[in-house]
């Protein structure tokens, strides 16, 4: 696999396959960058890499590789082997220097990319770890939710049963109160004796008549007298039939 040099303009890095421009400051440019930086105009020019001023003889334009090789070979005709080796050595040194710069740049980019990848890998691992922790928390929450749902269903069932039992107890209490109220009314009604149910047997009735004015203390009634109540007579008739006190009879 052939190895090609790359354009030294920052941000380009195009492989120099179809031609290149070589400057005396040891920089190689692709055709597009050479045209962009004014190498198609009249000299002087400025190297886009190191900003060195260049004249026409300080650049070498290689567009046709075959013709460039033929020109180089023709230039070496008649030269001594030492001169040819020196020219070839200089060309090889230029090539090696360009490769070293390119390799050094690639190494720096690779190291930077490696650090970037390491950082992203650490972030990825942290995200994976956090995802695992969140997944475990979700599983725990799902199990807890299922448990709470079962408890909720159980408590709801118990609540419905207690509510039904409380309603039954309230109905039973209302019924007991109604029965108790009815029983009390019946007892009150039965405790009230009608006039015809007054006691028929003789009971003592106290004589509540007051002594008349002018009686002496000795003539007053010392003890109340009780008489038997006749079954078919009123209490007033009983009082009328009672004998008068002795003092009263003596005065009369």
- Taking the domains of the chain in order of start, what are their residue ranges? 1-66
pLDDT in tens, 133-168: 999 999 999 999 999 999 999 999 999 999 999 999
Residue 28 CB partners (closer than 8 Å, separation 6+): 5, 6, 7, 8, 16, 20, 21, 22, 98
What is the pLDDT at residue 98? 80
- Alpha carbon 229 to its chain centroid, in Å, reads 96
Q: What are phi and psi of 10, to 5 degrees?
A: -65, 130
What is the pLDDT at residue 3? 67
Which CATH code, of 3.40.30.10, 3.30.40.10, 3.90.180.10, 1.10.150.120, is assigned to 1-66?
3.30.40.10
Helix runs in the chain, H state only: 31-36, 65-76, 81-191, 235-240, 246-251
pTM above 0.75, yes or no: no
- Alpha carbon 213 to its chain centroid, in Å, reads 104
Contact 201, 228 (CB under 8 A): no
What is the pLDDT at residue 112? 92
Distance CA 119, CA 106 (A): 20
pLDDT in tens, 230-246: 444 545 554 555 555 55
Angle of helix 81-191 versus helix 65-76 axis, rounded to 10? 150
What would the two tokens of residue 89 be? 């050595």
Q: What are phi and psi of 150, to 5 degrees?
A: -65, -45
In which residue ranges of the chain is pLDDT below 50? 198, 202-205, 215, 218-219, 221, 226, 229-232, 234, 238, 247-252
């Amino acid at each position: 696999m052939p190895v090609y040099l790359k354009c030294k303009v920052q941000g380009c890095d195009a492989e120099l396959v179809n031609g290149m421009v070589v400057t005396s400051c040891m920089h190689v440019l692709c055709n597009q960058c050479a045209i962009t930086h004014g190498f198609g105009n009249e000299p002087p020019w400025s190297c886009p890499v190191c900003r060195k001023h260049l004249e026409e003889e300080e650049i070498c334009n290689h567009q046709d590789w075959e013709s460039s090789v033929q020109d180089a070979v023709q230039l070496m005709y008649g030269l001594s082997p030492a001169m040819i080796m020196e020219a070839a050595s200089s060309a090889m040194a230029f090539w090696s220097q360009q490769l070293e710069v390119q390799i050094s740049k690639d190494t720096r980019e690779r190291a930077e990319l490696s650090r970037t990848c390491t950082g992203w890998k650490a972030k990825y691992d942290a995200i994976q770890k956090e995802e695992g922790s969140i997944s475990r928390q979700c599983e725990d929450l799902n199990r807890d939710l299922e448990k709470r749902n079962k408890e909720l269903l159980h408590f709801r069932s118990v609540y419905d049963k207690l509510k039904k039992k409380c309603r039954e107890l309230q109905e039973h209490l209302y019924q007991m109160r109604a029965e108790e109220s009815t029983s009390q009314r019946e007892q009150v009604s039965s405790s009230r004796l009608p006039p015809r149910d007054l006691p028929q047997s003789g009971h003592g009735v106290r004589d509540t008549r007051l002594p008349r004015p002018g009686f002496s203390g000795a003539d007053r009634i010392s003890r109340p007298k009780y008489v038997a109540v006749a079954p078919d007579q009123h209490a007033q008739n009983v009082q009328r039939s009672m004998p008068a006190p002795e003092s009263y009879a003596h005065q009369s």
